[in-house]
Amino acid sequence: MPVLTLGDAFDAGWRVRTKCLGLLYVEDKLFGGCGEKCDLSMETLVWTRGRALPLSKLPERLKCPRCGSRRVRLLYDVPSEPISGEESVQVWSTKDVE
């Protein structure tokens, strides 16, 4: 089943991290990339944005708390199918949804 919305991702156990792509300026001089990172709570996102929000629309709803940029990259951590005999080992792969 394709994961297209926040609700789908929540049901599938995805986790989401952000990385800011904005630029920091100090006294009008370019200081460098912001790079602020955060682990977002998928559950909180579903509570606040609703299950129906498409994942493709999520980045534009986010804003970096450090530099105020809306240029935010999202990385989804997707749980892989459990390997038989090694069920205690949870392997996560990272999926990049543009």
Instruction: State the minimum distance, in angstroms, from the CB of residue 28 to Zn ion.
Output: 17
Distance CA 48, CA 9 (A): 15
Of 54 and 68, nearer to Zn ion (C-beta) is: 68
Residues forming the site for Zn ion (CB under 5 A): 20, 22, 34, 36, 64, 66-67, 69
3-state secondary structure of 43: helix
Instruction: State the minimum distance, in angstroms, from the CB of residue 66 to Zn ion.
Output: 4
Of 68 and 82, nearer to Zn ion (C-beta) is: 68
Distance CA 24, CA 26 (A): 7
Instruction: State the minimum distance, in angstroms, from the CB of residue 7 to Zn ion.
Output: 28
**Contacts with 81 (C-beta within 8 Å, 6 or more apart), sequence order:** none
